[in-house]
Structure 1
Amino acid sequence: MNKVVSLLSNLEILLTQQALMNMSETDPAKRKAAEKHRTTRYISA
């Protein structure tokens, strides 16, 4: 069970990073917010 959860967490982080790369070209403010969100999610996970 823990393996599945950590796998999903890693996948979510990868997808978020990909989304950040896409967004960074369009809106720096959104990117900053997403980075903050990703960091808090990562810490809580």
Structure 2
Amino acid sequence: RYRLLHTAARITRGQRRIYLRLAKNWPWALALARAFTQLRLIPLPI
């Protein structure tokens, strides 16, 4: 949890979407990006 709350990132908006821009040199950037990708694959409840 500590690593996620202290993330080197910026929240940006564009094209009616919200983006989380992770610093490429942050050690956990790839793991966090993969986690968000996996979360988006979960189907929404009906």
TM-score class, shorter: 0.3 to 0.5
TM-score (norm 1): 0.41
Higher RCO (CA-CA < 8 Å; seq separation 6+):
1
Higher strand share: 2
